[in-house]
Amino acid sequence: MSYITVRDVSRIYPKQGGTFTALNHVSLTVDRGEFLCLLGPSGCGKSTLLSILAGFDRPTSGSAQIDGKEITAPSLRCVTIFQNYGLLPWRTVEKNVELGLESLGKAPEERRETAHAYLKLVGLERFADHYPAELSGGMQQRVAIARALAVDPDVLFMDEPFAALDAITRMKLQDEISAICREQKKTIIFVTHDIDEAIVLADRIVIMTPNPGKIKAILPVDLHGRRDRTSPDFLHIRDRVFTAFALKPEDKTEYYI
Amino acid sequence: MRTVKNARHLLGASLLVLAAWQALVSAGGFSEALFPSPLATLRGFYELIADGVLVRDIGASLGRFAVGYLSSILLAMVLGLVLGWYRGIWSYLNPIAQVLRPISPMAWLPFIVLFFGIGEMPALVIIFIAAFFPVLLATVAAVRGIEPVYLKVAQNFGIRQPAVLTKIVFPAVFPRIATGLHLALGTAWVFLVAGEMVGAQSGLGFLIIDARNNLRADLLMAAIITIGVLGLLLDSGITVVERAIGRRFGSRLA
């Protein structure tokens, strides 16, 4: 029995003069501890699928379960990391990290200790008393990750978390964050439209295509333990991803069957 | 450097006004009792300060202003927060607010006197009304326009009502409410004087009525200048507060 199960999920939004199908009969399973990337162009439903898994949205039909329980609302067991970080600008870095711990009813001293431990993990313990606006984008995202890890969730949902960062910061954070998250043994669902990012991070890549949003293919990524952006393994998988997207014209044929 | 420059602008403006004022007095040939010269006004100031009237009236006005303004914005912010959050209720109240908003607080005066009597209360009530709607509407608009990611974070991290309003929504929208607070401060100050003209026995509005009744144009002018300068100081004060709020609560998202 897999950890996360998506069974025949569709999400249809009403729109002016009709409906818009964001997700069309999507099925997927994810194992505990797996790092899964949802990859595709805008409008392919990857963010909608993540939203449903995170409990912010509900499927129009079908079922989405985590650990055998239907997902109905967001929970502290599954924390989402947003593209624009979602830090609270009126709280210091430390108080941001403590946010979830407050809901867990931890004592102030314990909250402080936990916050500092996770800030240390992301290399920002010196910035505990700063406000988010005083930090660079990459640092802010690291604070958001420390805040998510601080409540010790089982699952992390990441919605294009590095999309707003410059290329070099992005690559550094990709390496750093994937190492931390693997170490902490979290199950991770990561949404991106960046092919290289997906290959560097994922155990499996779910390739999605738009109109209507659906899963085109699922590619296992085996880089033989070396997440090296210039290795032959990397280029080989990249080639396969390119091939998967290049087959897009056949989408329509499939759709009309 | 900037203060020097500002001081120069202020001095220039003052000299310009004084020159025009004196020219008007010299050329117009009005009676001193009807239109005072700058020098007579200065003597009036001296008189008001010397017998302690000015300090007493400024104190009374600022006291009333503080009570009326603070109680008004407090209630307006709390109501705005709740009504902005529960959109269903606001849909019914919005038309009422839109009808009440453009009515000058002074129009209510006969009813205010009927309900609250004369003396201390009319001024307070008029300041309250003047400050209430700008803050209420700014708060409701700010709550409705809140960045959705804050609410998602609150939901995700298990924050429930009423903590969502106090811990997340209020600080998130406060920089935008601050604009309404600034606007309301100016409006309320304008109406303070009008409110104090109804039976108050102290305050700058009372000073104006009193000077007029005694045909003391010099004291009238002194009171007018005082009101203007105090209004400017209050406005500068809230600008400083607003900047501090911006720094403290500021963000890319707000």
pLDDT at position A255 over 70:
no
- What local confidence, expressed as pLDDT, does residue A230 receive? 83
pLDDT at position A254 over 80:
no
- What local confidence, expressed as pLDDT, does residue A173 receive? 87
Q: What is the DSSP string of B142-159?
A: HHHT--HHHHHHHHHTT-
Instruction: Say whether both B38 and B25 belong to one domain.
Output: no
Instruction: Say whether both B51 and B156 belong to one domain.
Output: yes
Among B150, B152, B158, select the one facing A88 at the smallest CB separation. B150
ipTM for the predicted complex comes to: 0.85
Query: Among A45-59, A192-206, A209-223, A235-249, which is the least confidently predicted range?
Result: A235-249
Instruction: Say whether both B3 and B77 belong to one domain.
Output: no
- What local confidence, expressed as pLDDT, does residue A53 receive? 93
Q: Cα B180–B147–B71 angle (5° rounding)?
A: 30
Nearest residue to A238 via CA among A200, A185, A181, A184: A200
Please judge whether A89 and B254 are an interchain contact, meaning their C-beta atoms are less than 8 angstroms apart.
yes
Residues of chain B contacting residue A100, judged by C-beta atoms under 8 Å apart: 157-158
What value does the mean pLDDT take over residues A185-196? 91
pLDDT at position B1 over 70:
no
At residue B74, the 3 state secondary structure works out as helix
> pLDDT class for A248, splitting at 50, 70, 90?
very low
Measured in angstroms, the CA of A21 and the nearest CA of chain B are apart by 23
- What local confidence, expressed as pLDDT, does residue B155 receive? 92
- What local confidence, expressed as pLDDT, does residue B252 receive? 39
AA identity, residue B53: V
Instruction: Say whether both B22 and B38 belong to one domain.
Output: no
Sheet holding A78-81, edge to edge: A78-81, A155-159, A187-192, A35-39, A204-209, A214-220
Tens digits of per-residue pLDDT, B189-232?
A: 999 888 888 778 889 999 999 998 998 999 999 999 999 999 99
Domain that holds residue A64: 1-77+157-162+187-224
* pLDDT above 70: percentage of residues in chain A: 94
- What local confidence, expressed as pLDDT, does residue B2 receive? 73
Cα separation, B231 vs B61, whole angstroms: 12
Instruction: Say whether both B55 and B74 belong to one domain.
Output: yes
- What local confidence, expressed as pLDDT, does residue A253 receive? 53
> pLDDT class for A116, splitting at 50, 70, 90?
very high
Rounded mean pLDDT of chain B? 89
Among A54, A89, A100, select the one facing B251 at the smallest CB separation. A89
At residue A136, the 3 state secondary structure works out as coil
Report yes or no on B254 lying in a domain. no
Torsion on CA atoms B54, B57, B59, B64, rounded to nearest 10: -160
Tens digits of per-residue pLDDT, A232-246?
A: 888 888 888 888 886
At residue A191, the 3 state secondary structure works out as strand
- What local confidence, expressed as pLDDT, does residue A250 receive? 53
- What local confidence, expressed as pLDDT, does residue A217 receive? 87
pLDDT at position B254 over 60:
no
Q: Are A44 and A70 in contact (CB under 8 A)?
A: no
A35: β partners = A188
> pLDDT class for B28, splitting at 50, 70, 90?
confident
Q: Are A96 and A143 in contact (CB under 8 A)?
A: yes
- The CATH number of the domain holding residue B55 is 1.10.3720.10
Report yes or no on B60 lying in a domain. yes
What value does the mean pLDDT take over residues A80-99? 92
> pLDDT class for A223, splitting at 50, 70, 90?
confident
- What local confidence, expressed as pLDDT, does residue B92 receive? 93
Burial string for A123-152 (b: 16+ CB within 10 Å, else e) reads ebbebbeebbbebebbbbbbbbbbbbbbbb
Report yes or no on A10 lying in a domain. yes
Cα separation, A210 vs B184, whole angstroms: 50
Instruction: Say whether both B17 and B51 belong to one domain.
Output: no
* pLDDT above 70: percentage of residues in chain B: 98
Measured in angstroms, the CA of B250 and the nearest CA of chain A are apart by 6
A157: β partners = A80, A189
Cα separation, B82 vs A41, whole angstroms: 40
Cα separation, B184 vs B134, whole angstroms: 6
- What local confidence, expressed as pLDDT, does residue B32 receive? 81
Instruction: Say whether both B26 and B89 belong to one domain.
Output: no
Domain that holds residue B14: 1-30
Report yes or no on B39 lying in a domain. yes
Report yes or no on B97 lying in a domain. yes
Instruction: Say whether both B149 and B72 belong to one domain.
Output: yes
Q: Going by C-beta distance under 8 Å and a sequence separation of 6 or more, which residues neighbour residue A232?
A: none
Instruction: Say whether both A42 and A8 belong to one domain.
Output: yes
- List the structure tokens of B12: 């220039």
Q: Quickly tell me which residue has 């409006």 as its tokens.
A: B187
Tens digits of per-residue pLDDT, A206-217?
A: 999 888 888 988
Cα separation, B124 vs B63, whole angstroms: 10
- List the structure tokens of B29: 């040939």
Report yes or no on B121 lying in a domain. yes
- What local confidence, expressed as pLDDT, does residue B251 receive? 45
Instruction: Say whether both B11 and B46 belong to one domain.
Output: no
Pairing verdict, β A35-39 and A187-192? parallel
Range list of H helices, chain B: 2-28, 38-50, 53-85, 87-100, 109-116, 120-144, 148-156, 163, 170-196, 204-213, 217-249
> pLDDT class for B142, splitting at 50, 70, 90?
very high
At residue A10, the 3 state secondary structure works out as strand
Pairing verdict, β A214-220 and A78-81? unpaired
Report yes or no on A116 lying in a domain. yes
Please judge whether A80 and B158 are an interchain contact, meaning their C-beta atoms are less than 8 angstroms apart.
no
Cα separation, A5 vs A62, whole angstroms: 11
- What local confidence, expressed as pLDDT, does residue B141 receive? 93
> pLDDT class for A68, splitting at 50, 70, 90?
confident
From the candidates A75, A99, A140, A155, which should be mutated to test the interface with B, based on the most B CB atoms within 10 A?
A99
Rounded mean pLDDT of chain A? 87
The distance from CA B9 to its chain's CA centroid, rounded to whole angstroms, is 25
Tens digits of per-residue pLDDT, A163-173?
A: 888 888 888 88
The distance from CA B85 to its chain's CA centroid, rounded to whole angstroms, is 27
Instruction: Say whether both B70 and B189 belong to one domain.
Output: yes
Cα separation, A46 vs A22, whole angstroms: 9
CB pairs under 8 A between A and B: 58
- What local confidence, expressed as pLDDT, does residue A252 receive? 54
Tens digits of per-residue pLDDT, B85-135?
A: 998 899 999 999 999 999 988 899 889 989 998 878 889 999 999 999 999
Q: Quickly tell me which residue has 């994922």 as its tokens.
A: A202
Instruction: Say whether both A71 and A191 belong to one domain.
Output: yes
Instruction: Say whether both B194 and B211 belong to one domain.
Output: yes
Please judge whether B158 and A82 are an interchain contact, meaning their C-beta atoms are less than 8 angstroms apart.
no
Identify how many contiguous H helices and E strands chain A contains and give both numbers: 8, 10
Tens digits of per-residue pLDDT, B37-66?
A: 999 999 999 999 999 999 999 999 999 999
Instruction: Say whether both B172 and B130 belong to one domain.
Output: yes
